[in-house]
Chains A and B, each alone.
Chain A
Amino acid sequence: MREEDKSKGQLIEEIQELRRRLGDGVADEAAGRETGTVRSRCAQSAFHDDPRESNQLFRRLFDGIADISLMIDISGKIIEVNQRACACLGYDRQGLLGLSAMEIGVGIDFTRVEDTWKSLGGGNVITLEGTYRCLDGTVFPVEENIRAFEYRRQDLFLVCARDISKRRRAEAGLEEKVAERTAQLRQEILERKLAEESLRNSEQKYRELVENANSIILKMDGRGRVIFFNEFAQKFFGYKERELLGRSVVGTIVPEVDAGGRNPGSMIRDLASHPEKYARNENENMRRNGERVWIAWTNKPLFDSWGRPVGVLCIGNDITELKRTEEQLQIFRRFADNAGQGLAMADLDGQITYMNTALVGMIGEVEWNPGQGRNLIDFVPKEHRQKLRTEIHPLLFERGDWTGELPLLSGKGHEIPALVNLFLIRDDAGNPRHIAELTTDLTHQKETEREIMRAKESAESADRIKSAFLASMSHELRTPLNSIIGFTGILLQGLAGELNAEQRKQMGMIQSSARHLLQLINDVLDISKIEAGQLNLSIASFDLLESFEGIIQTIRLAAEKKGLKLLLDFDPDARYVVSDRRRVEQVLINLVNNAIKFTDHGEVRVKSTVEGGHVVTSVTDTGIGISPRNMGTLFVAFRQIDGGLARRYEGTGLGLSICKGLVAMLGGSIWAESAGEGMGSTFTFTLPVAGGQ
């Protein structure tokens, strides 16, 4: 050991120096906590006695220092080391002594050693961090405390260094954690930024949503003043946002009349305490131009952080159209409910979905509700259900409707005669969706029909009796007339012997009266046949000219007896007609006979022409004419113009009435014209050329 080589004196000096230094309290830093102990021990005895012992003590003390301890002169050469230094740096003592401090990495700047020295004057300590290099080249971090002291008039540095690898490692761990945390924070910041961005986007979206929503969105404060009013609302109500902001809803979009003097504030408080009552309500609101609109509102009270109501958020949708439709529907419903006929609607299976009051009344019930689960078939009597299924139902679906008589079965099992009209109600695509039923109660009608039928039967029966009576009377009257007319004719012919002039005159009167009586019987029979519609016509085409000429020929004698001219003016176009010859002749004979009967001077002219498919025949005379008073009753049976005439002019009074009936049956018409009494008259009748039936 080099220490042992040193002279004893030298060592003593060193110890003394050390003692001095220790006495100054400089060494206690390097010795750590043990310093105190050392000092006290030193103070007791130790170093004075034996320099060798003192040297050993120094060694022990020096080696006992837990830090790397180095003594370095100002040239930077290491002049003393402790065991710890050797252990840490991997050298033996000899290897270290004389080595340059810079070699192992001591932090003293030896290029400016004077300054360093000075700065350490007065017991100052420099603490540095650095890196020491071991013999094997490995390095480790250290913290070194550097002091300056004088030893044997030599300026020296005492360097105490501590391996801070552990601390560094700990520090490094900390930094790692810090870095990790920093990264986390960065991430958090990034996420927050993203969240903020997303929030901004979302806010934008919501703003756009609110602004562009096809709903009215409005916010009002606790006193009912508008604080937000979206674009849709502005357009809808016709207010600009700035016109409405700060104004009360009452008097603007809520008509004052409807508010009924209620304070919007109290309404809002009510709303806040009973939100369910206001969650959804329908109100009639008003546009700026005064137009009333119906809005369905969803209202949500808004509260501040103390829970006090501060306003309401209202979202509204225009339901005006809906309301109107509803109203129309309501009206329609009332119309259906109150209709006098029975109305029912059913699904395609016949399950009834609606019945009106009239139908409910018909089936003898007081009330009906959809829950009763009734089917249309329930109201059809059992014996008609088969028909409904196999006949009516297929027809209904084939043609879309069915109408017919189908009795209605009342709740008490009575059958009500009814006329039923069933029809399908289709959707826009034309698919049947519902069956509608319109029921007319025929009870009253059926009764009337039965009454009419009874009346008709009784009338027909009376008619038959009348006809039989007339036929029988006619036969019974003719049989004796046959004898009267027949034998009068034979006597007048002189077949039973010659008659004298007086006998011939009286026989002629009998014959005339008998013929009049026969005419009367024939007319009565004709008129009753016409009235009963029992006159049979024999329709065929015939030569009207030939027929008329024949008649004129027959009657001319009678006309000439009265000194009258009888003329026929016949248009050849009127020659052929389709009609009943016998009846047409009957009419003309009647009219010409009448004309001759009522004319004393002048002529009777028969004229036929064709006009619009009809042969128009007129009989014009220059006779007594007809007063306007008598014109109206001319064609009425048994009404010969007046009582006076009847005596002067023979007749049954049925002729014109029969003519009118016959002409009507032949499809024509008949009328009379006269300029007045004494002015003559014209009777005209028409016949369809092609027949009337």
Chain B
Amino acid sequence: MIMKPKVLIIEDNEQNLYLTTFILEHHGYDVTQARDGAAGIQIARSNHFDLILLDIQLPEMDGYTVAGHLRSDSELDETPIVAITSYAMVGDREKAIAAGCTGYIEKPINPDTFIPELVKYLLAAKEDAD
């Protein structure tokens, strides 16, 4: 019996949260939701996740700041964090990586390629852990 991969989604937009959760759960992932950065950080610290999906355009505390907080926690420094960015602001991708994200996925997400991309990050993290 293979354990379901645990994924934390930090996303403020209800529709996007629902869309991502629907795809992940349909593909057999164990999904936990957080609707803002502070909640996401708190949940991440008290649970183990195989991957964190982080929206950059969050209210109050933006995704960069959240990534910084997550990475400052030694328990979380190995967890892959994948930024979901609308690729709108200049240097968003570079900033996301600099803030501690493992990778990024452009919005809008493509349901055809979304799961294979996540698998790539999960495998990479597993190889590092092994």
Contact = CB atoms under 8 A, between A and B. Distances in A.
A535 B86 CA distance: 16
Nearest to B113: A489
A475 B88 contact: yes
Interface centre among A478, A481, A486 (most CB of B within 10 A): A486
Interface of B: 13, 15-16, 19, 22-23, 26, 57, 86-91, 94, 107-112
Contacts of B15: 482-483
Given A471-B88, A471-B89, A481 B111 contact: no
Contacts of B23: 486, 490, 495
Given A487-B19, A495-B23, A482 B109 contact: yes
A534 B86 contact: no
A138 interface: no
A531 to B, nearest CB: 13
A493 interface: yes
Nearest to A474: B88
A486 B111 contact: yes
Nearest to A488: B111
A489 to B, nearest CB: 3
Contact of A495 (B26, B87, B88, B94): B26
A467 interface: yes
A479 B19 contact: no
A438 interface: no
Contact of B22 (A482, A485, A495, A534): A495
A245 B11 CA distance: 122
A474 B88 CA distance: 6
B88 A479 contact: no
Given A479-B16, A482-B19, A483-B15, A489 B112 contact: yes
B111 A493 contact: yes
A76 B34 CA distance: 197
A483 B19 contact: yes
Nearest to B90: A534
Chain A binding surface, main DSSP class: helix
Contacts of A525: 88
A479 B90 contact: no
Contact of B108 (A485, A493, A535, A536): A485
Contacts of A518: 108
B72 to A, nearest CB: 27
B88 A529 contact: no
Nearest to A485: B108
A534 B86 CA distance: 17
Nearest to B20: A486
A483 B19 CA distance: 7
Contacts of A482: 13, 15-16, 19, 107-109
Interface residues of A, number: 26
A490 B88 contact: no
Contacts of A484: 108
Contacts of A495: 22-23, 26, 111
Contacts of A493: 111-112
Interface of A: 467, 470-472, 474-475, 478-479, 481-487, 489-490, 493, 495, 518, 522, 525, 529, 534-536
B57 A475 contact: yes
B47 to A, nearest CB: 26
A471 B111 CA distance: 24
B108 A481 contact: yes
10 contacts: A471-B88, A471-B89, A478-B86, A478-B108, A483-B16, A485-B108, A486-B19, A490-B19, A490-B23, A536-B90
Contacts of A486: 16, 19, 23, 108-109, 111
Contacts of A478: 86, 88, 107-108
A479 B17 CA distance: 11
Given A474-B88, A475-B86, A485-B108, 7 more contacts: A471-B89, A478-B88, A478-B107, A485-B110, A489-B111, A490-B111, A522-B87
Contacts of B13: 479, 482
Contacts of B91: 536
Contacts of B57: 475
Contacts of B108: 478, 481-486, 518
A490 B68 CA distance: 33
Given A481-B108, A486-B109, A518-B108, A474 B86 contact: yes
B86 A479 contact: yes
A536 B90 CA distance: 7
A481 B88 CA distance: 14
A120 B57 CA distance: 183
B114 to A, nearest CB: 8
A625 B85 CA distance: 39
A536 B109 CA distance: 23
A489 B22 contact: no
Contacts of A483: 15-16, 19, 108
B52 to A, nearest CB: 19
Contacts of B111: 485-486, 489-490, 493, 495
A30 to B, nearest CB: 169
Contacts of A490: 19, 22-23, 111
A259 to B, nearest CB: 89
Contacts of B90: 467, 471, 529, 534-536
A478 B56 CA distance: 13
A529 to B, nearest CB: 7
Contacts of A485: 108-111
Question: A-B pairs with the 7 shortest C-beta distances?
Answer: A489-B111, A482-B108, A474-B88, A486-B19, A483-B15, A471-B88, A478-B86
A493 B19 CA distance: 13
A211 to B, nearest CB: 96
A90 B67 CA distance: 175
Contacts of B112: 489, 493
A486 B26 CA distance: 14
A479 B26 CA distance: 22
A478 B112 CA distance: 18
Interface centre among B87, B107, B108, B110 (most CB of A within 10 A): B108
A286 B47 CA distance: 116
A518 B88 CA distance: 12
